[in-house]
Structure 1
Amino acid sequence: MADQVVDTGGVEVSGQAVVGNRFLGRTRELKELRADIERAGLDTLSGRKAPRARVLLIAGRPGSGRTALAEELVRQVADRYGDGVLRARLSEPDGTPVPVGRVARELLAALDRPTPPGVAEDDLTAALRKALAGRRVLLVLDDAAEAEQVDALLPDSPGCLVVAVSGGPLTGIADVRPCTLGGLDTKSAVALLSRQAGSVRITVDPRSAEGLAEVCQGQPAALVLAAGWLAAHPKSAVADLAKQLRAEGDEGTPLGRILRLVHASLPTTPARILRLLCLAPGGLVDPHIASALAGSSVDGARAVLDDLVGLGLLHAVDSPLPTYQVPACLHAHLKALTETQDRPAELQLARARMLERTVRLLQSCRAITETDSPETRQKLLDMPRALRFPTPRAAADWLSIRRPALLASARAAVADGELDTLARRLMSQLVRALVVHVGTQTAAADLYDIHGLVLDVAERQNLPREKAAALLNLGDVDARTGRQREALVRYRAALDAGREANDPYATGRAMESVGGAHLELGDYDRAADWFGRALAQRLARGERADAARLYGRIAAAYTYAGRYGEALRNWRAAIAGHRRNGDVAAHARALSELARVQEYAGRPEESLRTCQEAVEWARRAEDPRLHAALYLRLADTLERLGDPAAAQLHRNAARRMLGEEPEELDVAESGPEQGTFEPEHDANACEIRSTSAED
């Protein structure tokens, strides 16, 4: 299995003591960690078999090179773990713990074990442990905020190894000895400065280089920024930089002091972009995000981002599109700079510009797939060139690459609480883009999370219409994944919200969905009752097509209940409705279901005549697959009536219509042999309602 990176909160790439492909220093720590892998645990010493994976803990302040040390250890021992390396980050850049369920879901996806959306956290972690059972996997858990996060993700397989990175000891996890990091040794620190800033100034003044390393307290992140400053100021001596840092006094950490110095040396626009990068969702930034934050051009923002990479303030991500990672260890310091340099209103405006740019990019991402519409083509042409995607493939690639940042942006916008209108537009466009490019089933987990965020905003803003839509969408996902009782609770809440909003669409759909949930739970009388309530509303509103479909759903419920008389009456009502609406294909399907119920009711001759009529209507519908499927249904009926020769003739006719397709098709929208009765909702089933008209 190839190495997998689980991008739940970003990958910390700051504070590293790696230059090129060479790791500097930490010889003692690496030796201790490798020895700890081989050390007999407490269970082994007591004669018991180790019940769980061995855990190694690397503890240190952000910027101490803890992640780089973990990666170097992984590089040295990875060949012992034949099932590969998994990586996940357990904290957001601002220090917020990432929910364990989200991490477990992403790890399962990396193991090709996707899970249904909405599954409880305990079930996800149990599924992860089951997936890792018997494997030899090296699991890297970066930036753990608390012991409970690591403990929940520990594999039960003793053949696995967990390397956890944290700011301190993880009390509560047995048999773990932390490897606590301080600064680099002087030789390694000077070598880091020399490789990053050039060797000439370091060689001619080694004492000053050692003094600079001492001022930085050997912290790799601070040394990287110091080396970047020296590289950008070729006429400045190493002693000058050390003197300036000493003049800063002992206030704050070495990393904070050198960052303030670097920030002060930047021109106005790059300095502002640097500060505002703490607003980038998930710590991931691209030229569009940077330009929106600072209100500059996209090309200008990319040039600034490349310059910041040269200074060690950003790290370029290996990606087909220009993408950059803000080092997590800089987040708190950048936030402190914004608090002193920018007014709250300016920061809010920057957030709003960033969200608005993201919304417009998502609009463009979706619109490029709908160019057959003149209105959509004109919308695309009206967009600035920088916001347009050349092809649908380019839009899909952008969506895939930016997915973690887009989801983080939605979470951050909802948590902010002051930009709810933009947050709702963002989530609406994100849902539509995911459905178009990824598909409802593939993106189900992301859609479930987004609809949960929509529900949070709707409840906070007292928006019953949006609340109803979110509850319906969440209920649909619960129903599709077999959690019918949870879905029933959602649908009932959606019904209450729809009534509060006086929204007939939400009310009708909620009543029908409540009926569908009761049907799946085997409560057929309640199902028929709720379908009947939905039918009454459709009839009162003159919605004839939906009314005809609901007659069929009522008939199906009665069929399950064995009440064939009521089922036959409702199928005949459905047939009459489809005939009045001119829906020939639906008319044929309804006739087929009527024939099925007639057979169940012990009326085989009537069933045969109805089935023959259904075949004729399928021919008029000019749908070869439906026509062939009804021929097969007719063949089964003839077989049961004792006419195998005629049955074979109809089967052969069906095969000729299907060409090379050998499978038997079932025409039923709903029927006892199908097992489920899915409501035929509109194509906008995942729509977040009451959004701006321009969306």
Structure 2
Amino acid sequence: MRGDSLFGDLVRAHRRRLGMTQEELADRAGVSVRSIGKWEAGQVAAPRIGTLRALADAFTLTGDARDEFLTSSALDDITPAQLPLDPPVFTGRERELAQLSASGDGTIIRVVSGTAGVGKTTLAVRWAHRVRHRFPDGQLYVNLRGFGPTGPPLPPGDALRGLLDGLGVPPQRVPADVEARAALYRSALAGRRLLILLDNAADAEQVRPLLPGAPGCVVVVTSRDRLAGLAVTDGAQLLLLDVLGTDAARSLLARRIGADRVRAEPRAADEIATACAGLPLALAIVAARAAAHPAFTLAAVAAELRTSRLDVLAGPDPAADARAVFSWSYRKLRPAAARLFRLLGLHPGVASIDALASIAALPPDRVRALLAELVQANLVDEPQPGRFACHDLLRAYARDLSDRLDSPSSRREAVVRLLDHYLHTALAADRLLKPHRGLGPRRPATHAPGVTPTPLADSDDAMTWFGAEHPILPAVADLAEESGLHTYVWWLAWAVLTYHERRWDRRDWIRWQMRAVAAAERARDPHFQAVSHYNVGYALCELGDLAPAHGHLNTALAFYEKLGNLAGMAKVHLNLGIIARRRTDYTRAIDEAETALALYRKDSDPVGEARATNNIGWCYLTMGDYTRALDHCRRAVAVHEAAGNHMGAGHSWDSVGTAHLRLGNPTEAAACYRRSLAAFRSERDRQYEAIALAHLGDAEEAAGRPRAAHEAWHRSLAIFTEIDHPDAGEVRAKLASREVPPFSLRQQIDRRP
């Protein structure tokens, strides 16, 4: 559609008055023939003042005729200053402000994105006020209304009209066609230095017509959408704004309610910051409530947040109501993505794609596409590749939505699928770490339809999975307890035991097994109670807490005896023997080990017999009967290796090596320790890898190889230190008390492969 043709009519009239063609006028005025044609056809409005003066010169206009030509068509020569008020309360964000200030060439486009209420506009406006002196031609601002309570986003054509108004273009000069408006907008910006703040954008398509076409301007776009397309096609620089850290959140509270109140109740202030998830909007709402009620203690405000955060963060103004603000992002989601977001509120932390696929009962590829939509909307973050989370307030909002929109049965089914995902993956991982660990017929064999356990190929995969998921597993167990599904808690504790043993994770090892004891008692299941007390006793024994270990083992023995469980009784006696040996009660130790041996034979368990045989051999070692010890431990090695039991073989090779060392055969001992070390490494057992290395160092020293001894001890000490093992001090003392001769050239040559 053609715009106002007044300017075009004037150009045509003056050109014809002088008898010039469009080509001749273009040469004389220094403009393009195409521009002249568009002006005369009324397709674009008038150019900037400099071009108008060139045309007036070409037309030889002077006096009133010249002034009439220039004033009837020129843009108003004003300097726009449209920025909103510089936020009076602003805290932190220095790193982000510096990123926005980073220099660049050409037209600079920066996108500030982030979740609802994170302070995108506040940051952009603060920065714009800081740097406005760099833009002599002014600052433009437009609220694109991409997310909000006031209807649909602002159409690009309407946004262009407002921007052209800010540039002084008379309304009658603004074309009706959006493309023509965009062309006029780019022409009006050409050669000028302006800062343009495009606030609250809905998507990249809304923003593109508003971008300058020539260097000189800086554009800052804020949006809840990440607008990654602008980075791909328009060279935009992306800045993802995160929530505030604890210090910045506390500082924001102090600036809004007074530093004295925060100093008076620092713990309550920190609790408020945590409850608000570091979200500036939430902190501002709570601060306004506290400021409006100066008699309220911060502890009282924190208590309100503990009971009903979203209700406390509500208010009559939609812009100051957390639910309302979050809803502006949620309602833009497609139905499937909205459902996944609601279900994500059931997950207690950072989740893998497989976990979220299980919650939603969807294939992982389908969930990956839905997560991309949630990430793009900044409702979900991807802190690590393939792992997703949202901050606590958004999780509370998602759960609130699920409570209102999803049926109780569908929510419970989703919780069961979540628990099944973690339990069945953990059980599979544990089996890879310790294939010979007895599971019993009661081991969960099936999971709910729609569950996607994470596929694991080997023990390395198992340790990697446990390493990634162990921070979230306690919260998964909490969810099971809240849902009254106590057997899930028990089996989860059972499945993580080997991992904690391998990592020598003392605190979590005991904490998990005590959770299993409590879950077994709640379930009133004697088999679970027997296993749980045994596992606690075993862990305490390994950690050197012999008295409580003895108590739990005796409790387990009583349960096993009532159940008639031979294997359970045998392993309890085996560990009671270990406690007796550590207390130097060797007679009792051998009696307990022989009792275990008899029970294993009765139960037809050759691997169990080998364990008992090795324990008897170790008792003889501590008693000084090295020949008899060597005989028992060799027999144990043969059985373990025949059964493919790497951990058992590793322990027995260590025992054989110690017998050789005590018998004065250090070279044979070192060879045995290396086999033990290889077995423990294959099972990724850090504790026993370090123990085998320490023993290898002893053998190398006895064999007259001090350099090799020191290398083994150094590697042992590094692992002991990493896992906070009590044997670190002994190895450190060996290293401190031994001198190591420097390498000679001959030694270096000998050590080459």
TM-score normalised by L of structure 1: 0.46
TM-score normalised by L of structure 2: 0.43
Q: Specify which structure has the bigger relative contact order, considering alpha-carbon pairs within 8 angstroms and separated by 6 or more residues.
A: 1
| Structure number with larger C-alpha Rg | 2
